[in-house]
């Protein structure tokens, strides 16, 4: 008798949840999903799992370099 394979990332491993959002937000998310080549659900999950500080940290690193450059010229 063969074993049933272990579920990986399937719908069995997810909790079904409904959310309410303004129509404009849903439209923006759908557009972003198309641009990123993923479903609306995948887009929402990616955004929820993303580090919200990542863009801020990148900006801070850039500002730090700019300040160093200016200070080195003084």
Tens digits of residue pLDDT in 14-62:
898 999 999 999 999 999 999 999 999 999 999 999 888 888 888 999 9
Say how many C-beta atoms besides its own lie within 10 A of residue 43's C-beta.
20
6 is written with which tokens?
């272990």
Specify if 48 maps to a domain.
yes
pLDDT of 4 > 70? The answer is no
Residue 41 placed within a domain: yes
Cα angle for residues 28, 52, 67 (degrees, 5° grid): 115
Q: What is the pLDDT of residue 51?
A: 82
Instruction: Write the CA distances from 14 to 7, 26, 30, 41, 55, integer angstroms.
Output: 11, 21, 21, 12, 28
Residue 28 lies in a domain: yes
Q: What is the largest CA-CA distance in the chain?
A: 78
Residue 7 belongs to some domain of the structure: no
User: Domain total for the chain?
Assistant: 1
pTM as predicted: 0.57
């Amino acid at each position: 008798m063969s074993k049933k394979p272990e579920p990986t990332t399937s719908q069995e491993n997810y909790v079904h949840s409904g959310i309410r959002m303004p129509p404009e937000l849903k439209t923006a998310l759908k557009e972003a999903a198309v641009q990123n080549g993923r479903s609306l659900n995948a887009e929402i999950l990616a955004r929820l799992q993303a580090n919200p500080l990542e863009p801020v940290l990148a900006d801070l690193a850039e500002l730090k370099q700019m300040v160093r450059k200016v200070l080195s010229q003084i």
